[in-house]
Structure 1
Amino acid sequence: MGAPGSWIITLLLFHLFGSGTSSPVFTNTPSLLPEILLPFPTVPVPTPPFISNSGESTQGVLCPLKLSPSTVVVRYGDPVKANCSIKRMGFPVLGWYLQLDPPVITYNGFLIWSVERMTNWTIKPVCFALAEQGGQCDIALTLIVYKPPDRVSITFVNHTGQMIEGDQYTVQCNVTEVAPVENLIVTFYRGQNILAQLQSNNSREKKPVTESFTLDIVSSKEDNGAEYWCEAKMELGPEGPQPPPVVASQKLFTKVLFAPEFLCPPKMMVTEGKTFTCEVTGNPQPSVTWFRDGQVVTLPSHLSKKDAGKYTIQAEGLSPKNFTVEVEILPVRGTANSCNGHFLLLGFLTQMINWL
């Protein structure tokens, strides 16, 4: 076994002759630090304690390291830094480690890792401490490097032009160059109404990707003139930017063809001398013809009792459609009853005068 101070000399050599930068790399950080950093190579190395997402070792007595902040969210190209500190004595060496880079160490109680411009999507900084009695402990910094999408667009899949009521269509939201895609939430809208919220199943890719999200819809007449659109939101947690970054698509204006509809009851009561009608809607706007007893008729502007009966409306639009209306003519109210009322009132007043 070497002298107790030999491992410190080894670290000093790395510190003096190795690079002190934390240049990003595109490889995964190993679970253990390089063997050369261990103080006593002949002594079995204890398994590093489990590291929680809080940035503190769950075995605080064995590994009293603390990261501040414990989770860092940084936009690609922006600066980033994190502080690692030790809670108690007995750990004279503190450092940051990245795969393929020499460790950066200090003999103080804290050490800040920083990068002026983050351009590495998969970097995994690890803070470690070496104990006086041998052994090591380490804790990984949770680092999320993100990039909002370059563009968000919406289209119909394999369809252009007008839609037909009752048919199924697929709306597609295309999100271009976003990272990490697992933190992306895509929301589909019709007007201001939310139709669906979708997320990617790709949880492994950290670099920017382009991904499409689809939603099946069944068109209705209410969709005529509606606007479909989508938005991509980066949900990066409380450590991320607030409010979360959002990029919206263009509006997709829709036209829906639908068959004629009759906006009137099947039985109508109309006062004598008045007229009636029935509103017919559709896209395209249907042409309307009225029939009575099998004959084409024009609705009279002043109805009489002889106009009572059944009328058939024939509408020609996206598809032909008929509708039958039964019309009942009501007598004019008020004239005879009003005269009778006046005579009764006059008789009553005359009788009252005679009594007086």
Structure 2
Amino acid sequence: MCAPGRPIALLLLYVISSASSSPVPTLTPAPPLPLQVLPPGTPPPSTPLSGSAAGCPLTVSPSTLVVRFGDPVTANCSVSQMGFSLLGWKVSLPTPEPTMDRFLVWRVDRITDWGIQPVCYALADTGGKCDITLPLTVYKPPQNVSISFVNLTGPMLEGRQYTLQCTVEHVAPVKDLRVTFYRGQTALGQPQSINSTVETPVTQIFTLDISPGREEDGAEYWCEAKLELGLDGPELPSVVTSQKVTTYFLFSPVNGYELRKGLYCER
């Protein structure tokens, strides 16, 4: 009974042994695939943009204005891209109603505000805002210019120092004022100016010290006030001149007695 079953047992053992000695491939799990679609991020908050920044396509024409007080003024603001739903002006003087068009004109019959700063703005569909400021200078030529000597009540003495005074009345803006003193047609030094942030009309005094000699007896002194408003200003600069003052000397006699100005008697 046992003999017939032995070959079968040996055969099974051989099969099992052969199977265990053969290499068995090992399955390694594949690395996970990277995400191909990123989750939507939160958009950055809207921030105001100036006209010079990217994304704020505002243009003002003219780009700079120089206007005499009381004169009319006109400026156009336009937006060159889509995506802006409202265009408007912010000015201290009367302004047009905001519009959904691509341009908006600001027009005033008379400039009556000193230090005005017109601003054009645009509202974006996404809620952002951008704006651009129109540089505007309001000027007024001098109302009057006069010249005089400080504390001089009689004839001048040779060799003494005297002070010329040029008074410029009711001028704006004073920072753009240039004053030059003259003797005859000769300019005395460089034009004078001051640093000031005052934009309303003021009266300003300029001085110049001189030490004239006897050869300048009878010379005429005067001063000139000019508003230098740059390339955007009027073609003819606003120039106002003073009256002329004449110098008279009381000469000291040399080897003689003085009879009158300029005439001497020898001893």
The TM tier, using the shorter chain, reads: 0.7 to 0.9
2:37 matched residue in structure 1: none
> Matched residue of 2:215: which SS?
helix
Deviation at 1:232, TM superposition (A): 0.8
Q: Which residue of 38, 54, 72 corresponds with 2:65?
A: 72
Q: What stretches of structure 1 of length at least 5 have no aligned partner?
A: 1-42, 50-56, 263-281, 290-356
Structure 2 spans left out of the alignment, 5+ residues: 1-43
Q: Judge conservation of contact 1:97–1:103 (CA < 8 Å) in 2.
A: no
State which of 148, 153, 178 in structure 1 corresponds to 2:171: 178
What CA distance in whole angstroms lies between the structure 2 residues aligned with 1:105 and 1:255?
67
Query: Which structure ranks higher in relative contact order (CA pairs < 8 Å, sequence separation ≥ 6)?
Result: 2
Whole-angstrom distance in 1 between the partners of 2:172 and 2:248: 35
Change (3 A) 1:97 1:222: same
SS in 2 for 1:286: strand
Q: Give me the TM-score of the superposition, normalised by structure 2.
A: 0.76
Q: Output the amino acid matched with 2:138.
A: V
Counterpart for residue 227 of structure 1: 220
User: How many angstroms does 1:87 deviate by?
Assistant: 1.7
Residue of structure 2 equivalent to 1:247:
240
Counterpart code for 1:58: S
Query: How many Å separate the matches in 1 of 2:99 and 2:228?
Result: 36
Q: Does the aligned pair in 1 maintain the 2:181–2:221 contact within 8 Å?
A: yes
Does the Cα contact within 8 Å between 2:77 and 2:103 map onto a contact in 1? yes
- CA distance in 1: counterparts of 2:179 and 2:211, whole angstroms: 20
Superposed counterparts of 1:96-115, under 5 Å:
96-98=89-91, 104-115=97-108
Q: Take 1:91 and 1:189, find their aligned partners in 2: how far apart are those partners?
A: 58
Native 8 Å contact 1:93 1:129 kept in 2: yes
- Counterpart for residue 159 of structure 2: 166
- Alignment of 1:91 onto 2:69: no
Task: Give 1:138 shift.
Answer: 0.4
CA deviations 1:110-145 (Å, max 9, x no partner) are 111111011111221100011112211101111111
Note if contact 1:181-1:200 (Cα within 8 Å) is conserved in structure 2: yes
Give the secondary structure class of the aligned counterpart of 1:106: coil
Partners of 2:236 and 2:251 lie apart in 1 by 41
Which residue does 1:188 correspond to in 2?
181
Identity of aligned residues (%): 54
Equivalent position amino acid for 1:171 in 2:
L
Q: How far off its partner does 1:72 sit?
A: 0.7
Structure 2 letter corresponding to 1:128: Y
Displacement, 1:47?
4.1
Q: How many residues align?
A: 219
Partner of 1:46: 47
SS across alignment from 1:105: coil
CA distance in 1, matches of 2:97, 2:123: 13
Query: How far does residue 201 in structure 1 lie from its aligned partner after superposition?
Result: 2.3
Q: C-alpha distance in 1, partners of 2:60/2:119?
A: 10
Name the CA shift for 1:48/1:258 in 2 (closer, same or farther; >3 Å): farther
Cα shift readout 1:260-306 (whole Å, capped 9, x = no counterpart): 679xxxxxxxxxxxxxxxxxxx94322135xxxxxxxxxxxxxxxxx
* Corresponding residue number in structure 1 for 2:123: 130
1:65 and 1:223, CA in 2 relative to 1: closer, same or farther beyond 3 A? Answer: same
* 1:218 and 2:211 matched: yes
What is the RMSD computed on CA atoms of the aligned residues?
A: 2.2
Counterparts of 1:99 and 1:79 in 2: how far apart (Å)?
Answer: 15
